[in-house]
Structures are given as structure tokens and as C-alpha cells.
Amino acid sequence: MSAAEQEQNTSLLVQNKVGEAGPSVVKEADGENRCVTPRKKGLRQSKTAIGMKESNVPSSDHDKYGNHWSSYLGFEETVMGSWRKPTVYEGLAGLVQKVLRLKHELKVFCKENIGDVVMEYKAAKDNFCLNQEAAMLKLRDSTDEAKLRQAVKGTKLKAKVFYNFLVEKPKVQYSKGIWDNLLLPKHRFVYWQIINTQLLTRDFLSKFILIQSTLCPVCDSEEESHEHIFYRCIFTKRVQQEVNSWLGNYSWPSSTIDLSFRCDFKKHDLRKCLLNLVTAAVYYQIWANRNCCVFDLTCASPKSISLEVRNIVHLRVLSKGPFKRSHENAYLLNVIKNW
């Protein structure tokens, strides 16, 4: 094979590579010769305001493996123009000379059309280092020796404890009752939503979407809200009466504020923990029954809900423990075991 034929075959090979990386699917080169991209899966039209030309790009493979320089106007002309220029040498030496010349012209093309990526990277890195240093200086100024000593356990610094000292957050008093381990996990979440008034009641939904009625789906007498469904609804009061038949004379919360005050108690007080467990279970069953009324068009009786709550409390107390030994706790546990 002569040097001219070898150069012509190499030129066609470069055209095929450019066609695969470039945005155009079919381009004419050297008269009747055509380079066709082999991957033709999903074609999309891309046009940007920074000088990119309209093109058909394979959407799947181009994003992963494509040469994104080819999206800029003049990329293919630069590559093909540089490759077609004659060289001093022939054969392999001429091919190496073309590759080195093409590499240099692509660097110039990148700086003129895209910008100096290296300088932008160095500037971004320097800016990041300055911000990191400023954050460390700010942390040093806001840290005293007392906080460091409190975060040290033995000879090790506890990063979590130190971070909690730095982050100032308001203490919520009702968290002791909401996240008590004696409660079921699903009861804790709904209990937390109730005390923060975050359940999707109809009075809240009516502010965003159009609904047929905002009345309570259980009693159908008042507008459904947190205050109504958990404290004023006649069905809720009947459930509480049924629960009091086996729990005793318990005064139920009258508002969300009252509920938040009752959740602030010491964890070793088993009596208050049990009352908190019953309250959370009742409110969960009331909300679950409300959802059944809306979506399944069925409503449970107050007595069935009361029995379900008693079974939940009975099994939960038997599965937890051991509790602190005292005469009062022993009496309470004995009563629950005999349910």
C-alpha cells in the first residue's frame, strides 16, 4: 500500500470517528463518501443560546460517551481542516505530525469557544479553600474550652456531641411523651402529627384543592379539623367513654396545648407512661377509623375500637420491660396482665 493510499484511508477513519462523536447523523465528505453514525436509537433536537448549532443527537449514548466539543459550531470544520492540511513527512511520521497539529488546534478551539477550563478550575478551588478556611476560623471563634471538654470522653473527642453543642436548637418538652419507646412506632408518628396539627384534615385540604364537603366524615355535624376530630367529635367522646369503662376515670385532653403539657413527664413514671400509651393508641385508632369512613365507607363502633386499644396496650406492655420495681408498678402490671 502506497503512502497516498494509507493517508486516504486514515483520513476516512478520522471522518468516521468525528461522525460518531459529532452531532450530525449523516455528513458528506470527499464527494460521494458518507460517514454514518452506527448508533441511531433516540434522536433529539438540541439548540442552545451560546452558539451551538441545531443537531440530531442520539439521546442515550451521546450523553454517556459523546464528545461534547462537537456540539459547538465549527468543531468539525476545525478537525477536518487540520487533518487535510499537507505534512512534510509521509507514512507514520506524517500521521504523528497530523495528530500533534490537531491536538494543538483543539486546545486553541477550546479556549476560544469554551474558555480556559484549567484557570476556572483553579479559581474555583482557591475560592473553596478560602471559604473553608473562613468557616474554620468562625468555628474556632465560637468554640470555647468548656464545650470541648464536654465533648471529650476519655481520650477521644465525640464529634456528634460536639456538633450538638454547636447547633442551637429549641428544646421541645412534649418529645418525651411522643417518642416514648413504650409506644408503637406508627402510633408515635401519628401522635407527632396530631400534636403539631399536620394531619390532612378537610379544613386544611380545602385551602389547596376543591372538595365536596368539609364536614367531619364520621359525625357529619361540624367542619373537620384537628380540634374537632380529636377533642370535640361526638364519636371520639363515645370512644373515650368506652375506654374509661376498663381504664378508669381518666380525664382526656381538651386541646392540643393540653396534650402537649401532658406529654411532658418523667420516663420512670409508669402510670403516666401507660396513660400516654392509651392516649396515643386511641388517637391512632380514631384517625384510622376516619380514613376508613372516607375511603372504604365503613365505620367501626366505639366499643370495637375500645377493645382494640385494650389489646394493643396489653400486648405492648407484656412485650416491653423490665420496669422499675415498686409497689405501684407491680400493681399496675398485675392489672394489665389480668385484662
Dump pLDDT digits (tens) for 72-85.
788 888 888 888 88
- Answer for the pair 262, 186: CB distance below 8 angstroms, yes or no: no
Dump pLDDT digits (tens) for 28-44.
444 444 443 333 333 34
Boundaries of every domain in the chain: 70-114, 117-166, 174-338
CA dihedral 40, 41, 43, 44 (to 10 degrees): -140
Place of cell 372516607: 294
In this predicted structure, the answer to whether residue 195 has a pLDDT above a threshold of 90 is yes
In this predicted structure, the answer to whether residue 252 has a pLDDT above a threshold of 90 is yes
Dump pLDDT digits (tens) for 117-130.
778 888 889 999 99
- Answer for the pair 136, 113: CB distance below 8 angstroms, yes or no: no
Q: What is the mean pLDDT of residues 217-226?
A: 93
Set of cell numbers at residue 50: 451560546
| Pick from 100-114, 160-174, 237-251: least confident | 160-174
Dump pLDDT digits (tens) for 53-74.
444 444 444 454 456 666 778 8
In this predicted structure, the answer to whether residue 7 has a pLDDT above a threshold of 80 is no
In this predicted structure, the answer to whether residue 276 has a pLDDT above a threshold of 80 is yes
- Answer for the pair 7, 94: CB distance below 8 angstroms, yes or no: yes
State residue 110's pLDDT score. 80
Strands 34-36 and 26-28, bridge-based pairing? antiparallel
**Residue 6 vs residue 288, higher pLDDT:** 288
- Collapsing DSSP to helix, strand or coil, 244 comes out as helix
Dump pLDDT digits (tens) for 139-191.
777 777 777 788 888 888 888 887 777 776 777 788 889 999 999 999 999 99
- Answer for the pair 187, 280: CB distance below 8 angstroms, yes or no: yes
Dump pLDDT digits (tens) for 320-330.
878 888 888 88
State residue 292's pLDDT score. 95
Dump pLDDT digits (tens) for 283-301.
999 999 999 999 999 999 9
State residue 67's pLDDT score. 63
Q: pTM, whole model, 2 decimals? A: 0.55
Strand partners of residue 215: 223
